[in-house]
Chains A and B, each alone.
Chain A
Amino acid sequence: MKFSDSIELAGRNLRESVLRNSLTTLGIAVGVASLVAMLSLGIGLQRLASRRLERSGLFDTVVVTSRRDFRNFNRGQENEGLSPEESPELDEAARQKIGNLPGVAEAYPDLRFVTEFRYDNKAHLTMVAGLAFSAKNSDGFEGMQGRFFSAPNAREAIVQKTFAAQLEGRTTKGRPEELNLSDVSRPVLGQPIIMRYSERVASAGEQGAAFYSVLSHELPLTVVGVTELDPDSVRGAGRARVFLPENLLESLHAMQSFDFRDSSRSGSGQPSYGTLIARVTSATKVEAVEQAVKKLGFNTFSILDATNSLRRFFAILDLFLGIFGSLALTVASIGIVNTLVMAILERRREIGIMKAIGASDQDVRGLFFTEAGVMGLVGGAFGVALGWVIGRVINFGTNVYLSRQGFPAEHIWAVPGWLVAFALTFAFVISLISGLYPASRAAKLDPVQALRYE
């Protein structure tokens, strides 16, 4: 019998016992729905976490800190390698060494300090940070309004959207997600803004005494871009809301929070850095660069450190969710076996007739197999739709809860195409496996016995 005939006859047989087959199919649908709902939530949560990390723009950077600096991100590294006393200083020489490591595009100090900006004759105090020109293509600036710096030392500023809103006198009420980036950026783009800062001029005194002068300056800038970049992210750990070209900021010799420690070093004249950022040529080289930097005696931190444990966590979470989801499908598969075995009993005579008029064992087996497959596919399709709805409802409920708790809405649910394909295939395969025994039993029926059956 041709496959198309098997499908047609299977469809007809399924329609004949419509209530029983519908209930069996519904069982599969519920099983698939629980699988899809569970996994869609797992995937959604994973995406939410990844999205947060991606916004940090750190996928191609390695943060380098001195082991002398106990503010390092990776506590585990404190017990490895050189002791803080023996570890090298994070100075210009170290910057050169790190910059020359294979896979490193650029190494630059993480410059950030609190300073005052004047915009429209009003003062705004915030954190400013240097941004390497090579960060132009970073994921963190995806969707930025306006443009990136025109030159590595252009007198231009990129502002975070909450700061842009603040400049325009708008309040965010702790809900930055509700700010529309393009609405916020339109009035500030191209506008002048003045940064007031203090320049540190170091000089060596007599008998090893080191001292420096502080000069106050004003730097006129133009706002060229407004970004979503999350100030609470890893990159924005210092809550920087204004970014200036790294080279420009470095040339200003502005006062840094670590300047006191720098000045206490006996006047080597070399600047020392609190944190260096090593921008890696590609995200795949992050791990190798981290290892190389650690060998130099520094502490490192990259997004890989965060995502490795995160990925492991979500792999386990997805596995557990998948197992719980599959349990319902397994129960449903027993329903298929039951329905088909019942169908064999009911259609015993019919099987005998079919064999008497020329059906082969393969024809009969194929017919029952197709019926199982059709129930699996139909149940799978309904299940995916049902799972999608359940996921949406859970997402909606979670957001209602979050909003009552004063948190912004989140998208904690996702049904990617592969999950739909996986759920359908899984339902189909489980149904076929469930159909194996009944189909084989039907095929082996003795036609003479089957024809005698009333």
Chain B
Amino acid sequence: MGMATIRAVDNIGLDIPAGEFVALLGASGSGKSSLLNLIAGLDRPTAGEVVIQGRDLTKLSRDELAAYRRSVVGMVFQSFNLIPTMTVIENVELPLRFRQVERAKRAPMAASSLRRVGLSERLHHRPVELSGGEQQRVALARALVNEPTILLADEPTGNLDSRTGSEVMELIRSLNASRKVTVVLVTHEQAIAEQYAERLISLADGKVIADQTNQKMMVRGDG
């Protein structure tokens, strides 16, 4: 028995311009989620740099990384990751608490974020009382409540039926279009990536095997 070193992300060089909608494609274990965690400042690479808006995340302290996650990025996960003991509005308010936003301002900000994703009712229900699509909308509202410039979505449709998944993806696309939010979407579904992303980056064994502009989007955009 020995210790084998697995390089989840290996020698990747990527440049994502602000406002771009990028899809990271690949099979399970290809390193797409690990790359997303590096961009989110949740993980640090053993070597190399992760430069976001001019700042190298590898050189930031734990507190600075927390501040970065609070103000620059918003995250959406496959399993929604809502806190089950909190109501919908409380879940969306949580990032505002960490940003020390005044109590009186929090509820209106959270309600506004929820309205943006099409949820204006059932704000005082707990996540377990909502459908999967609704839960993902709440997660999206929570990711957006701090007005991030980057939205990181890790398999956001993985736990949703195709119709609900499309609704969520439409929401993400409209945010990208209207607010110029940079979107990095992790998915293993080629079809979804091709339908929504401007750029498709394919990974395998931690390496980029393809990085191309989405021709279908170009065609649709031109048409």
A358 to B94 Cα, complex, angstroms: 9
User: Which listed residue (A1, A16, A356, A451) contacts B85, Cβ 8 A?
Assistant: A16
Decide: B99 and A448 in contact? CB cutoff 8 A: no
Decide: A356 and B66 in contact? CB cutoff 8 A: no
A15 CB to nearest B CB, Å: 9
Chain A residues numbered 403-454 whose CB sits less than 8 Å from any CB in chain B: 447-448, 451
Decide: A358 and B99 in contact? CB cutoff 8 A: yes
Interface residues of A, dominant DSSP? helix
- A361: chain B residues at CB < 8 Å are 62-63, 66
User: At the interface, yes or no: B70 with Cβ under 8 Å from chain A?
Assistant: yes
User: At the interface, yes or no: A354 with Cβ under 8 Å from chain B?
Assistant: yes
With contact pairs A1-B98, A1-B100, A2-B97 given, residues A360 and B67 touching in the complex (Cβ less than 8 Å): yes
With contact pairs A350-B83, A451-B77 given, residues A357 and B42 touching in the complex (Cβ less than 8 Å): no
A123 CB to nearest B CB, Å: 84
Decide: B42 and A356 in contact? CB cutoff 8 A: yes
User: At the interface, yes or no: B75 with Cβ under 8 Å from chain A?
Assistant: yes
User: At the interface, yes or no: A363 with Cβ under 8 Å from chain B?
Assistant: yes
- B99: chain A residues at CB < 8 Å are 358
Decide: A358 and B42 in contact? CB cutoff 8 A: no
What's the interface size class on B, roughly?
A: 20 to 34
- B98: chain A residues at CB < 8 Å are 1, 354, 357-360, 363
Decide: A1 and B42 in contact? CB cutoff 8 A: no
User: Which listed residue (B63, B75, B100, B146) contacts A356, Cβ 8 A?
Assistant: B75
Chain B residues numbered 91-113 whose CB sits less than 8 Å from any CB in chain A: 94-95, 97-100, 103
User: At the interface, yes or no: B166 with Cβ under 8 Å from chain A?
Assistant: no
A183 CB to nearest B CB, Å: 62
User: At the interface, yes or no: A191 with Cβ under 8 Å from chain B?
Assistant: no
User: At the interface, yes or no: B142 with Cβ under 8 Å from chain A?
Assistant: yes
A4 to B100 Cα, complex, angstroms: 10
User: Which listed residue (A2, A16, A353, A355) contacts B66, Cβ 8 A?
Assistant: A355
User: At the interface, yes or no: A5 with Cβ under 8 Å from chain B?
Assistant: yes
- Return the chain B residue nearest A447 by Cβ: B42
- B97: chain A residues at CB < 8 Å are 1-2, 5, 9
A361 to B75 Cα, complex, angstroms: 18
Chain A residues numbered 314-373 whose CB sits less than 8 Å from any CB in chain B: 349-350, 352-363
Decide: B69 and A358 in contact? CB cutoff 8 A: yes
A444 CB to nearest B CB, Å: 9
A352 to B86 Cα, complex, angstroms: 16
A358 to B40 Cα, complex, angstroms: 10
- Return the chain A residue nearest B90 by Cβ: A12
- B170: chain A residues at CB < 8 Å are none
Chain A residues numbered 1-58 whose CB sits less than 8 Å from any CB in chain B: 1-2, 4-5, 9, 12-13, 16
Which B residues lie at the A interface, using CB under 8 A? 37, 40, 42-43, 62-63, 66-67, 69-71, 74-75, 77, 81-83, 85-86, 94-95, 97-100, 103, 142-143, 146
21 intermolecular pairs with C-beta atoms under 8 Å apart: A2-B100, A5-B97, A12-B85, A352-B81, A353-B82, A354-B83, A355-B42, A355-B66, A355-B69, A356-B77, A357-B69, A357-B94, A357-B95, A358-B70, A358-B98, A360-B62, A361-B62, A361-B63, A361-B66, A447-B42, A448-B42
